[in-house]
């Protein structure tokens, strides 16, 4: 999925959160799996972000058009055009209106050697953050 709410929670232990809409297919999947990953996308990954935000995309083969690899710790998908990759294990789940706040402990982290510009999304439009 493409997340619009992702934040650091704690440095010790390293915790992050993501807000997941309850009506999405990913909601059940992330809660059931207990392990997940975040790819912080670079500007060239706009197409991947748009595809992964598309409602109703096919479940089978949904990552086929997106260059990716599997994380060494969790096996979760890590997208190639990224600035950094984090693998997490869920530590807490909090209902929050029509979303669920999922908190995860970072169990693996990698940063791109030459990251380039960050992909941003603001006021309904994609952009770049140098």
Please report the pLDDT score of residue 115 as a whole number. 67
Please report the pLDDT score of residue 125 as a whole number. 81
Task: Give per-residue pLDDT as tens, 26-47.
Answer: 788 888 899 999 999 888 888 8
| Superfamily the domain 6-129 falls into | Electron Transport, Fmn-binding Protein; Chain A (2.30.110.10)
Please report the pLDDT score of residue 119 as a whole number. 84
**Which residues of the chain are under the pLDDT cut of 50?**
none
- Domain spans in the chain, listed from the N-terminal domain onward: 6-129
Please report the pLDDT score of residue 129 as a whole number. 66
Rounded to 5 degrees, what are φ and ψ at 15? -125, 145
List alpha helices for the chain, DSSP H: 25-33, 46-52
Residue 13: asked if its preceding bond is cis (omega within 30°), the reply is yes
């Amino acid at each position: 999925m493409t997340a619009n709410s992702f934040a650091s929670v704690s440095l010790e232990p390293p915790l992050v959160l993501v807000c997941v809409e309850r009506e999405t297919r990913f909601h059940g999947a992330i809660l059931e799996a207990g392990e997940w990953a975040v790819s912080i996308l670079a500007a060239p990954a706009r197409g991947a972000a748009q595809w992964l935000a598309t409602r109703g995309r096919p479940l089978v083969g949904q990552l086929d058009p997106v260059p990716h690899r599997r994380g060494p710790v969790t096996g979760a998908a890590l997208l190639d055009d990224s600035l950094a990759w984090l693998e997490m294990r869920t530590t807490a789940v909090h209902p929050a209106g029509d979303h669920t706040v999922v908190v995860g402990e970072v169990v693996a982290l990698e940063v791109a050697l030459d990251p380039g510009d960050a992909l941003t999304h603001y006021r309904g439009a994609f952009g770049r953050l140098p």
